[in-house]
Amino acid sequence: MKLKKIWPWIALGVLALLLIARFTVFGFYRIPAGSMIPTLSIGDHIIINMLKKQPRRGEIIVFKYPKDPDKDFVKRVIGIGGDTVEIREGALFVNDIKVDDKLQTKPCSYQDVEEETGNRTTYKCRGFDETLDGRSYTIIHTHEEGRSFPAVKVPAGQYFVMGDNRDNSHDSRYWGFVPADHVRGTLAWVWYSSSR
């Protein structure tokens, strides 16, 4: 009889722990735009580790958009404080060392959704396997000609971030660095993907 009376309290305790974890350890987000294609697709649901707020190069973070902190963005960390980041004709350099990238031979295309109308458009692209600090992932370029970006030094306590959809990402190349205190957490996993 006593064992039966304990179970409701155990269930309540587990529920309380899950609620605490939901607001202090894990963050849940839905991807609204295509700047992280092909890694994250529009409509993907992700979970971030809110305890990991000091990401390394190559990791994906969710952060408060520096120009409007009420908005959250998701991008890949390319440079950390003290790094120099540059793009030469489409090739990424970190601290004057070219980041390893290999052109994929398979055909590349993706669909993006226009936020205002909801219309889907298919784009042709070139896929590259990029490796930064031992982390490998795929990026895409939609322009044939490689675009350049002048060398910038990342200030201490800040991050330089870019989307994996390199030619269609509003990122540090346009609005600057992400302060460390704007980082909400690091990507833990995709728990639901609309495209896979």
CATH number of domain containing 105: 2.10.109.10
Mean of per-residue pLDDT scores for the chain = 89
Count the domains in the chain. 1
Closest CA relative to residue 26, chosen from 141, 165, 170, 184: 184
Quickly state the pLDDT bin for 1 (edges 50, 70, 90): very low
Stronger pLDDT, 107 or 115, i.e. the higher one: 107
Q: Output the six-digit token pair for 78.
A: 């390319």
On whether residue 13 sits in a domain, the answer given is no
Q: Which domain holds residue 69?
A: 25-192
Reported as a single tens digit per residue, the pLDDT across 50-104 is: 999 999 999 999 999 999 999 999 999 999 999 999 999 999 999 999 999 999 9
What per-residue confidence (pLDDT) applies to 18? 59
28 by Cβ neighbours in 10 Å (0-12 / 13-18 / 19+) ranks as exposed
4 contacts: CB under 8 Å, gap ≥ 6:
none
pTM reported for the whole predicted model? 0.86
Quickly state the pLDDT bin for 193 (edges 50, 70, 90): confident
Q: Does the pLDDT of residue 4 top 90, yes or no?
A: no
Question: How, if at all, do strands 45-49 and 60-64 pair?
Answer: unpaired
**What are 105's strand-pairing partners?**
none
On whether residue 147 sits in a domain, the answer given is yes
Q: Which of 7-11, 66-70, 98-102, 167-171 has the lowest mean pLDDT?
A: 7-11
What per-residue confidence (pLDDT) applies to 171? 97
Reported as a single tens digit per residue, the pLDDT across 122-156 is: 999 999 999 999 999 999 999 877 789 999 999 99
On whether residue 10 sits in a domain, the answer given is no
On whether residue 3 sits in a domain, the answer given is no
On whether residue 127 sits in a domain, the answer given is yes
- Give the residue numbers marked as catalytic: 35, 75
Mean per-residue pLDDT, 152-169: 97
Q: Output the six-digit token pair for 160.
A: 């330089």
Rounded CA separation 2/115 (Å): 57
Mean per-residue pLDDT, 110-117: 79
